[in-house]
Amino acid sequence: MGYRALVEYDGTAYQGFQRQRRGLTIQGQLESAIEAVTRQAVNVSGAGRTDSGVHAKGQVIAFEVSWRHGCRALERALNANLPEDIAVRDLDEAAAGFHPRFSARSRAYEYTIYTSPVRQPLQRFRAWYVPRPMDLTPMNQAAEAIVGRHDFATFGQPPQGDSTEREIFVAKWRQIEEVLTFEIEANAFLYRMVRSLVGSMKLVGEGRWTVTDFVAALAKRDRSQAAQTAPPQGLCLTAVYY
């Protein structure tokens, strides 16, 4: 039987989602838990290969296993065998042919920055600390410039193939007190694309780049034109749409 589920995790202690030869990964922990419960070795597929230190609350996984006790019992058993920083939610049977990555229509991420004049230790694994205020208006103007289909070669590398074109459906910043959150949804993403966009938009918010500078960097389709890549802890995979 094929199963699909939502997975939420704190990525701080892991070398990303995808299984690696060395180091803990989300995929590895999920496969170990499934094997412990079912006594069957499985391969877990994920919708997004999040990097080391990146979090998720809307990761989607799929796997095939023989199990006769129902979805809720399997969900409870997996969570009992997973570490506290990973949880499986909404586990159900998967439709025939479903693949969490290749069946996806789009994915959504959020990136969080906080701008307190003093560091907030509880935020250190959840957000990028920037000790100065930023202007959200030009940051949103830069975000508007990337909506639609563009070549994003300046801001990332393709995980496979050569195409660096992607279509952005939503890109916007919002602010609540000292916390700035960037929301982005696209049909697909380049490697480190969101973090690279955030690093460049940060310069816009600080007044070190203009919106024109940002748009010019995008148009050059040259990876060397991007600013600093934002650190991983502020990034979270929030949803996958099918």
Which residues are the active-site residues?
Answer: 51
Q: What is the mean pLDDT of residues 38-60?
A: 97
* Total domain count, the chain: 2
What is the extent of the structural domain holding 74?
2-93
136 shares a domain with 48: no
**How many other CB atoms are there within 10 angstroms of residue 178's CB atom?**
15
Residue 161 has pLDDT above 90, yes or no: no
Same domain, 191 and 117: yes
Do 128 and 236 belong to one domain? yes
Residue 24 has pLDDT above 90, yes or no: yes
Does this model's pTM top 0.85? My answer is: yes
Residue 159 has pLDDT above 90, yes or no: no
pLDDT band of 207, cuts 50, 70, 90: very high
What number is the average pLDDT over the span 15-38?
96
Q: What pLDDT score was predicted for residue 234?
A: 98
Phi-psi region of 167 (alpha: psi -120 to 50; beta: other; left: phi over 0): beta
Which CATH number fits the domain that encloses residue 53? Answer: 3.30.70.580
Average pLDDT over residues 127-140: 96
